[in-house]
Amino acid sequence: MPKNNSERDYLFYLLSKQEYSYAQLKQKLIQRNHIPLTEIESLLQEFVDNQWQSDERCAELMIKSALYKHYGLLRIKQKLVYEKGIDIAIFEKIINSLDIDWFEQAHLCYQKKYHDKAQDLKEKQKRLQYLLRQGHGMSMALEVVSS
């Protein structure tokens, strides 16, 4: 068991502020203390078993937050799977369960920043790069900028 429940209290503290993925919590515990990995795993498994931590819940909240900001699929996937440590199967399950119009997302992202039509090629390229940075695919970004 963890020493004096300090690790458990720390996890409760973190989860009371926001949702964290299993991988994020594991990394925080590794950085915080030099406790054995087996203790970290058992403590995190206790949190999963009691549904205090859920990668599905964490991923769903992060995806909805990213959609609110009009990010594209590529940026959302980058953030959740590669940065936050969410399993790709969980990510795909949640993305497929949500009814998302990706073209509408790209269009809203574009309208949020630009209110008029691009006048020249340089301006179109600038706007295209913006949409690509926001995680929208090339074909979708081209279609939005051209419309």
25 pLDDT above the threshold of 90 = yes
Q: What is the pTM of this model?
A: 0.85
pLDDT value of residue 28: 92
Half-sphere exposure of 76 toward its Cβ, with a 13 Å CA cutoff?
26
Across all residues in the chain, what is the average pLDDT? 91
pLDDT at 2: 43
Tell me what the mean pLDDT of segment 33-45 comes to.
88
